[in-house]
Structure 1
């Protein structure tokens, strides 16, 4: 793979904004590194900060300084230098953090997707490329060493391409890469939550690869400097309890949480809700699950190939759930064993008149005037949209019929099979389904709405 690399120290200085000042006299300072727009980390970052739960847990004796970054690399660099005490980042950056810092520990998870749906590859809307195989010879923007980059490498190999020779990966911070995609400087963009969803929502890109097709879990987590944690166990305990507070708030108030994150980050609420709402692409659960630990082990060989910052890591030393066990309480083991999304779409479908019972088909409509309403199936959702009328829908969400990835209904690829409509995140996914189900026929979103309006 021909990779254009920027120096690690430059990365450490890029994409950083500071919030807070030096601690007032008599107060201890806690420095937290987070990624505001990486909305899979909001329960340890943006939402946590907006709700003020950490400051409440710590009390008046502490001053919290929040440092915002675009990726995990600068957070790791500052943790190595002892300038950040607690940070949150994705699975690949976490491994780099463990290798470079050598004295940090992974203490909790923020959010995850067991199939890998938090990472995606998009191309310009007018591009004729519909699959990864079509990227041969292309320039692809990615943040080198990120979870999005790792997914790209694995997916290219699965598609029959040689990541070392068939594409050129250009190392960009996410916002720079997004601009390059729009300007034509690159032909594709491989990134992590929430950048692909944002670009598709803004009609600046189309999705050609859903990371869920890879079937490898991806996640984000919280890492602490071990010396700091040993000297300040009460701070780590307060942080984790505050994270659990924020997770409960997100589950209990999904729309309000999305609006708070949107206001703080500038992201559209509809995009935040795609990932963080009920049945969203991200499952928010702080427990350190064995599936995620296994995914970390799986990622190590790929990270060795794509990042000069990585030599190796002892995961048995790096992963430490003792702090979380204490903060969590007696339900920890049972909740660790469960992979059910705690945030489900529930209620009665107003169009089909049935309860929403199956998470695999549960869909959701967000109206301009009012909140959200549940749909038992994508077909029922189409009926709701048709009944609402033009200009009345703020956003509509459906799960991919094969992978379960939540996606925008109007950006999905649709098939009709008998009397049901099946949505897919990508054309490739729909084609794979048709190969096994020849009775399924392509239909456009507009055609599907028109047919349901005529029912």
Structure 2
């Protein structure tokens, strides 16, 4: 049983960035190259095929309407690790990013040049740990000696480590395997793994032949919440802060639409993910979506000059990852605070 290796060094990430981003940005290369060469009217936005306000903003073209003089490129990613690589390679302006890979990104002597500027959602039942029914495993402790897959450096990875710790297991007590969501499903179907911690929509497919052992909702309630954040590059902050204002307002509108127009929200998510309306509705019900007012409250992101509890959550996440030998050293609270972009945040509510 092998202990999870520490994440690759920033140097190795940088070396792999161009290949990773090239694959992710197929069909958007012209816009990406223009932006990388200094075009101030480009926005390259990384998103996940996962129910969130991002999908509503994309589907309804809210950002294109707000910024008609900008060319918007939406680039799909599979994990926070690949998003981090893209920011290192200066190939993104804005992106969705889990709180765990964000904590990794701001650790070390050369933090990734980005800042958190919004909260997309709080992980709930949409990320969970599932064991194959054929294994007979019914609780987390029963995973000892088993093969467990998760995308390394993701919020699911962080939550899995937290679940193991709570159950009295060390990472070395199981065989942890680094797989992205689709390869997890394939390995599950072949019987190559015994359990997996992953997110929707792969999660729902595993549930059909698996037993849920815990979820990010439970782990969060026990003191280790994970979130889907949205980060902006330092370069975008310097060259086009008004684009960030427009983007935040579009994301705030999307959060309001989730509540005020549930049917339209389901339709947008269904169209973006290529799933039925019933499946889209079920997936949306598993997430925890804040109101714009909650995002700006002291309980979460905070507002201009005054970070909320997210600062503590990210700092605690970094400390936990360091304790688990996932990163070399935990970022200090001061280091995490430097990676918060709160300027103009209160304008969202005007």
**Is the shorter-chain TM-score for this pair beyond 0.5, marking a shared fold?**
yes
Structure-2 residue corresponding to 1:393: none
Take 1:157 and 1:124, find their aligned partners in 2: how far apart are those partners? 21
Contact 2:131 2:213 (C-alpha < 8 Å) held by counterparts: yes
- The answer on 1:285 being equivalent to 2:295 is no
Alignment gaps of 5+ in structure 1: 330-455
Take 2:169 and 2:29, find their aligned partners in 1: how far apart are those partners? 49
Q: TM-score, normalised by structure 1?
A: 0.63
Q: How does 1:116-195 map to 2 (within 5 A)?
A: 117-163=125-171, 165-195=172-202
Structure-1 residue corresponding to 2:60: 51
CA-atom RMSD, angstroms? 2.7
Take 2:209 and 2:60, find their aligned partners in 1: how far apart are those partners? 32
Partner of 2:247, secondary structure, is: helix
Contact 1:47 1:246 (C-alpha < 8 Å) held by counterparts: yes
Contact 2:148 2:174 (C-alpha < 8 Å) held by counterparts: yes
Whose helix proportion is higher, 1 or 2? 2
Partner of 1:296, secondary structure, is: helix
Partner of 1:3, secondary structure, is: coil
Take 2:181 and 2:57, find their aligned partners in 1: how far apart are those partners? 23
- The Cα shift of 1:19 comes to 4.9
Partner of 2:263, secondary structure, is: helix
Take 1:47 and 1:63, find their aligned partners in 2: how far apart are those partners? 18
Structure-2 residue corresponding to 1:316: 337
- Of 230, 254, 258 in structure 2, the residue corresponding to residue 250 of structure 1 is 258
- The Cα shift of 1:90 comes to 1.0
Take 1:267 and 1:198, find their aligned partners in 2: how far apart are those partners? 13
Contact 1:153 1:302 (C-alpha < 8 Å) held by counterparts: no
Take 1:309 and 1:85, find their aligned partners in 2: how far apart are those partners? 27
- The Cα shift of 1:169 comes to 0.8
- The answer on 1:237 being equivalent to 2:245 is yes
Structure-2 residue corresponding to 1:213: 218
Take 1:166 and 1:269, find their aligned partners in 2: how far apart are those partners? 41
Structure-2 residue corresponding to 1:197: 204
Question: What is the CA deviation profile of residues 392-451 of structure 1, one whole-angstrom value per residue up to 9, with x for unaligned ones?
Answer: xxxxxxxxxxxxxxxxxxxxxxxxxxxxxxxxxxxxxxxxxxxxxxxxxxxxxxxxxxxx
- The answer on 1:307 being equivalent to 2:326 is yes
Contact 2:87 2:112 (C-alpha < 8 Å) held by counterparts: no
- The answer on 1:82 being equivalent to 2:90 is yes
Whose strand proportion is higher, 1 or 2? 1
- The Cα shift of 1:63 comes to 0.5
Contact 2:100 2:158 (C-alpha < 8 Å) held by counterparts: yes
- CA gap 1:142/1:159 in 2 versus in 1, 3 angstroms: same
Contact 1:29 1:62 (C-alpha < 8 Å) held by counterparts: yes
- CA gap 1:183/1:143 in 2 versus in 1, 3 angstroms: same
How many residues end up aligned between the 2 structures?
317
- The Cα shift of 1:254 comes to 1.8
- The Cα shift of 1:310 comes to 7.0
Take 1:92 and 1:84, find their aligned partners in 2: how far apart are those partners? 19
Partner of 1:284, secondary structure, is: coil
Contact 1:197 1:271 (C-alpha < 8 Å) held by counterparts: no
- The Cα shift of 1:242 comes to 1.0
- The Cα shift of 1:263 comes to 2.4
- CA gap 1:244/1:252 in 2 versus in 1, 3 angstroms: same
Alignment gaps of 5+ in structure 2: 301-307
Contact 1:76 1:101 (C-alpha < 8 Å) held by counterparts: no
Partner of 2:96, secondary structure, is: strand
- The Cα shift of 1:161 comes to 1.2
Take 2:154 and 2:201, find their aligned partners in 1: how far apart are those partners? 14
- CA gap 1:306/1:270 in 2 versus in 1, 3 angstroms: farther
Contact 1:111 1:285 (C-alpha < 8 Å) held by counterparts: no
Higher-RCO chain (CA-CA 8 Å, sequence separation at least 6): 2
Rg comparison, structure with higher value:
1
Structure-2 residue corresponding to 1:328: 349
Partner of 2:87, secondary structure, is: helix
Question: What is the CA deviation profile of residues 193-220 of structure 1, one whole-angstrom value per residue up to 9, with x for unaligned ones?
Answer: 44323432xx243312223332222211
- The Cα shift of 1:154 comes to 1.0
Contact 1:87 1:223 (C-alpha < 8 Å) held by counterparts: yes
Take 1:22 and 1:284, find their aligned partners in 2: how far apart are those partners? 35
Contact 1:16 1:67 (C-alpha < 8 Å) held by counterparts: yes
Take 1:316 and 1:301, find their aligned partners in 2: how far apart are those partners? 15
